[in-house]
Amino acid sequence: MGAWGGGPFDNDDAADWLDELDQSDDPAATLRAAFTCLPRAGTVEAPDGYAALAAVVVLASLVGGPQLDDDLDITDAQLARIAVDPELIGAARAALRRLDSEDNELQAVWAATVEGGAQRTFLAEMDGVLATYIPGAPVVVRRSSGPGPDHAHSVPTADLDDTTVTELDRDSVRTFTVPGRLWSEKETSLYVRKGYRGFLYIPPVPRSSSTLDFVRDLPDLKSVVVADRPGNDSAIFEISTLEYLALDYTSSKAADLTTIATSVRDLLIGWRPNLHVPTSLRLRSLTVHGCTARSLAFIADQPELRELDLTLTRSHTISMTDVPDCPVLTRLDITHGAVAGLDTARLPASLRTIEFSSVTDIDLGFLRTLPGLTRLYLHRCTVRSFAPLTDCPWLRGKVFGERTTAFDHDPTLLRQFRDTPW
């Protein structure tokens, strides 16, 4: 393994992986494999880490992130074949969390080649880009002859110009990206002059020096993504025009979501004390990170909610009692921790996709009550038994996943239902 810089493509392992991607018959599967090969616990070895980071940057470039260099050895046609979906985005973000951990061999490499915490800022920026993905948005292959993601960790901060701005197209909302610096009058002026209607903001260190007060000066604000905790975020709850809001950090400060604009349709929020999602929001999708709720009672009835995504703390158990009334919910994702009460949960019959990632002690008996389910994902989970699958013939060939085991593991039974060998 040779590395000649701190960028995601400045090493032999990333180059080898990129060549594999360029030759792949299923490039999306090649990306997913790079993400899922990282161990859930233990040391992330450098070759796997380099491949995963390269895959993250490629994926981010397709959903509005930094453009790939023209010199990068992969064809636009191959990039355009990558089928981006919420599962792939989720796997990439999980990989980023592992890359940001201390138990990672790349940390020593980065310490020698990248100044200070710049690499961590770069990882946060990539995560912020992925957080803005909206299911169904088209893939856009974007190239640059100038500094690409290889130099993203050294973006100039002294003056703002168009080269430090990334534009994302989400439901026709042009989004202004400013990573790792305090928002100033110069940013506000450019935002207004160029007709942006949303922003992605990564607060600088120290976080205590930053606030979101500047949002009051941004006209017709539709989309907001804040990728790390600022010193004060209270102003964001005063904006009446928002449609997409992502506050991707946990906080010790309570948030009154009843003051959020009822126009918000998609909400991503990190856990905070006494979090309650009111019916008045009429959400289309809800994502909660770092969730420590005992049950789903913190979510009021959501008659228009289609997607619910919960990331628990690793040792946490959530009960599926008090399931809110969500008559059109089609997708449920739960990551980490354990889930109790599934056998008696009243899950909506409208569910079509369920994904569990790194969840323990799953009772699959609940599947018998969901004849409309068309896909079940089990990534690195433990289940009590695969036997309930015999009562769910509609799931034959529609169980997806990897590295999932049961207390009474029956490979013959599992082969009847899984899509491919795990």
Structure tokens at 401: 């996943």
Q: HSE, CB side, 13 Å, CA atoms: give it for residue 52.
A: 28
**In Å, what is the CA distance from 362 to each residue of 187, 304, 343, 382?**
48, 27, 10, 6
Q: What is the mean pLDDT of residues 49-76?
A: 84
Q: Band the pLDDT of 400: cuts 50, 70, 90.
A: confident
310-313: list long-range contacts, CB under 8 Å, 24+ apart: 310/334, 310/335, 311/287, 311/335, 311/336, 312/336, 312/337, 313/337
Do 343 and 351 contact (CB within 8 A), yes or no? no
Task: State both tokens at 308.
Answer: 């619910």
Q: Which of 108-112, 180-184, 247-251 reaches the highest mean pLDDT?
A: 247-251
The pLDDT value given to residue 367: 95
Residue 93: which residues within 8 A CB-CB, separation 6 or more? 127, 130, 131
pLDDT at residue 74, rounded to an integer = 84
The pLDDT of residue 117 is: 60
- Residue 189 · residue 213 · CB < 8 Å: no
How far is Cα of residue 19 from the mean position of the Cα atoms in its chain? 25
Q: Is 88 exposed, middle or buried (0-12, 13-18, 19+ CB in 10 A)?
A: buried
Question: Packing angle between helix 12-23 and helix 46-62, nearest 10 degrees?
Answer: 50
Instruction: Choose the weakest-confidence range: 199-203, 273-277, 381-385, 406-410.
Output: 406-410
Reported as a single tens digit per residue, the pLDDT across 95-110 is 998 888 878 887 777 7
User: Residue 309 forms beta bridges with which residues?
Assistant: 287, 333
* CA-based nearest residue to 225, from 163, 164, 182, 268: 268
Give the number of other Cβ atoms within 10 Å of residue 235's Cβ: 14
> How many other β-carbons are positioned within 10 Å of the β-carbon of residue 227?
25
Closest to 355 measured CA to CA, from 329, 324, 378: 378
- Of residues 399 and 168, more confidence is placed in 399
pLDDT tens per residue across span 110-134: 766 554 466 777 888 888 888 877 7
* Residue 43: count of CB within 10 angstroms of its CB: 12
Consecutive H or E run containing 308? strand 307-312
- Enter the tokens of residue 141: 């292959």
Q: Which pLDDT does position 175 carry in this prediction?
A: 65
Of the listed ranges 88-92, 206-210, 297-301, 343-347, the one predicted with least confidence? 206-210
Q: Is residue 37 within 8 Å of residue 31, measured between CB atoms?
A: no
Q: Which of 243, 244, 181, 246 is nearest to 214 (CA)?
A: 181
Tokens of 89: 């985005």
Does residue 348 have a cis peptide bond before it, meaning omega lies within 30 degrees of 0?
no
Mean pLDDT throughout 362-372? 94
Query: ∠ CA 330-402-319 to the nearest 5 degrees?
Result: 50
Contacts of 414 (CB under 8 A, 6+ apart): 386, 389, 399, 422
Q: How many Cβ atoms are within 10 Å of 63's Cβ, its own excluded?
A: 23
pTM for the full predicted model: 0.62
Average of per-residue pLDDT across 397-412 = 75
